[in-house]
């Protein structure tokens, strides 16, 4: 199972409140957040991921870390409350500092390498779930933005109408 999402220190709890507010207010209107009850397995079937809860946000990311993790031009993922995500089976993890200075942890199947979920040290109560896991059952997924557009490749066809941010969020959006 993915490590506990406990808020930890008071500083982490305060940051979590900020992140949760941004996810709720900035990323998506409440009417655009579907309730999801879905399960998926990795490519070899050894690990399962179940989500039961309301989506916090749905994004695409073309940062270089996501490109390397997916082997493609961008990742497509949904954010859920960590308590709404259950992962069963053996996993391995990889940690890397993000451009914001937070540590981002990615969990994957040690047998087939399928990406399973991720979490930022700055938002420990939010789990990032790659929607490709759910295949055709992910008809609920509607990305609302592309982040890290500055590293989007010309060959990676992303809907031109999708709002784009050069990094995680443009600096002026943080204030």
Q: Where does 82-121 show beta strands of DSSP type E?
A: 85-88, 92-97, 103-108, 115-120
Pairing of strands 126-130, 75-81: antiparallel
Residue keyed to tokens 């990889």: 94
Residue range 71-83: mean pLDDT, rounded = 92
Higher pLDDT among residues 159 and 35, named by residue: 35
Higher pLDDT among residues 90 and 63, named by residue: 90
User: What's the CATH number for 10-174?
Assistant: 3.90.1590.10
Residue range 66-72: mean pLDDT, rounded = 85
Pairing of strands 85-88, 48-54: antiparallel
Q: How confident is the model at residue 68 (pLDDT cuts 50, 70, 90)?
A: confident
Pairing of strands 48-54, 35-41: antiparallel
Q: How confident is the model at residue 78 (pLDDT cuts 50, 70, 90)?
A: very high
Residue range 128-148: mean pLDDT, rounded = 92
Residue 1: its pLDDT value, please? Answer: 54
pLDDT tens digits for range 97-121: 987 778 999 999 999 999 999 999 9
Residue 174 has pLDDT above 50, yes or no: no
Residue 128: its pLDDT value, please? Answer: 96
Kindly state the helix (H) or strand (E) to which residue 20 belongs, with its residue range. helix 10-22
Higher pLDDT among residues 85 and 33, named by residue: 85
Residue keyed to tokens 């060959």: 155
Give the whole-number percent of the chain exceeding pLDDT 70.
Answer: 77
Q: How confident is the model at residue 30 (pLDDT cuts 50, 70, 90)?
A: low
Residue 77 has pLDDT above 60, yes or no: yes
Q: How confident is the model at residue 3 (pLDDT cuts 50, 70, 90)?
A: low
Residue 173 has pLDDT above 60, yes or no: no
Residue 14 has pLDDT above 90, yes or no: no
Residue range 154-171: mean pLDDT, rounded = 79
Q: What are phi and psi of 101, to 5 degrees?
A: 100, -15
């Amino acid at each position: 199972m993915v490590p506990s999402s406990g808020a930890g220190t008071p500083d982490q709890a305060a940051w979590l409140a900020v992140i949760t507010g941004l996810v709720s207010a900035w990323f998506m209107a409440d009417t655009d957040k579907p309730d999801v009850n879905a399960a998926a397995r990795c490519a070899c079937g050894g690990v399962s991921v179940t989500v039961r809860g309301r989506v916090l946000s749905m994004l695409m990311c073309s940062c270089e870390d996501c490109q390397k993790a997916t082997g493609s031009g961008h990742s497509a993922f949904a954010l859920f409350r960590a308590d709404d995500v259950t992962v069963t089976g053996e996993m391995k993890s990889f940690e890397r500092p993000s451009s914001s200075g937070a540590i981002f942890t990615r969990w994957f199947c040690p047998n087939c390498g399928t990406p399973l979920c991720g979490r930022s040290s700055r938002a420990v109560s939010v789990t990032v779930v790659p929607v490709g896991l759910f295949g055709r059952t992910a008809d609920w997924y509607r990305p609302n933005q592309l982040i890290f557009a500055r590293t989007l490749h010309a060959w990676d066809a992303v809907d031109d109408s999708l709002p784009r941010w050069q990094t995680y969020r443009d600096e002026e959006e943080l204030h």
